[in-house]
Amino acid sequence: MKVLLINPTFGGVSGSGRHVKLLYERLKDKVEFEVWNVKNIGFINLPKLKTISFYLKCKLKKIPDDVDIIHVHNSKLAGIIPESKASILTIHGSYEEELEIQYGSLIAPVKWYIKRNLRNADAITCVDPYTADRMNWIWIPNMVDLESIKTIKRVEGEPKLVWIGRDDPVKNHELFRLIAKEAYKRFNVKSLVLGIRKGKYREQEWINYERVPWEMVISHLKNSYALVVTSKIEGLPSIILEAWASECPVIAPPIKSLSMLNKLFGEVIKLTENYEVESFLRYIKLAIDGKLVQIIKRSKEVVSSKFDSRVVSEEYLSLYHEILNRVKSTTSQGA
């Protein structure tokens, strides 16, 4: 079986890039993979043009005849999928809401184009349980490499509050700055932002910025009071699973996708009542005082049994076989 994996950030620091790399590593002895990413396809390295330029280059490139399944990992790339090949589209979150927050009403033509091309996929999976259920897609979650996480040592020093993500309106970093400033005033706790370059925001005594390799992200999580999520929209990001595996409690706003995780597995995330600073500080105080032990224990058990890459990759392998069998059956009936 040969599968063409298409993801621009394959092997990079993004959540989807790590997800696809883990899939590749776990199944490469069972599946022959070909990977298309920005390194071997190319792109225009300018804001707002990276994804569209990668997409256009993929459209111009001939898909090898011996490919059995095309597996695309980005809703914006749905137009790459040809009707003549068996295909799977994996959506990494609630893409419509994210696009609306990022671009406003200007994104309407893009949303229409994506929707039109979704029908070309033989199967659509989504890492977000809430969106998958709402859209009647297949839920195959994000995954983590527990073996690697276990080998990483915690960073030395005083524990901090950690926020991880890109500088994007969806991630709502400005709210975290307010939370971090107040947490320092009340609890004398400092904060660390990972994923945004130094100089983008003014560093203070109470907040620092770093961009570090993945291993250092895990090291910091292992020495954190809590991972604080302030996003306006989230699916099931890898960083939450990595926090669980690192025994770091997660405090997040009442996003529907994250609420569904608590419904499925018991309380594994401390969800605030709203987006008010006070709502976050209430649970941050519990984390500092060591009163989120049960959440830490439960989330560690859940990530070990449900989200390890060895488990999740087998779900994709089963889907590959199912899609191929379905296509073969349809072809034989047509003949």
67 shares a domain with 167: no
CA atoms of 92 and 239, how far apart (whole Å): 13
pLDDT: which is higher, 155 or 100: 155
Decide: 88 and 70 in contact? Cβ < 8 Å.
yes
67 shares a domain with 122: yes
CA atoms of 15 and 97, how far apart (whole Å): 18
Instruction: Go through 227-240 and write b for each residue having 16 or more CB atoms within 10 A of its CB, e for each that does not.
Output: bbbbbbbbbbbbbb
Summarize pLDDT for 160-180 with one digit per residue, the tens: 999 999 888 889 999 999 999
Strand segments, DSSP code E, in 86-127 are: 86-91, 123-126
- Confidence at 12, pLDDT banded by 50, 70, 90: confident
218 shares a domain with 104: no
Helix (H, G, I), strand (E, B) or coil at 198: coil
155 shares a domain with 277: yes
pLDDT given for residue 238 in this prediction: 92
> What CATH number should be reported for the domain holding residue 73?
3.40.50.2000
Summarize pLDDT for 110-165 with one digit per residue, the tens: 777 777 878 889 999 999 999 999 999 999 999 999 999 999 999 999 999 999 99
266 shares a domain with 134: no
Summarize pLDDT for 62-86 with one digit per residue, the tens: 999 999 999 999 888 889 998 888 9
Determine the structural domain holding residue 315 and report its residue range: 2-143+309-334
158 shares a domain with 130: no
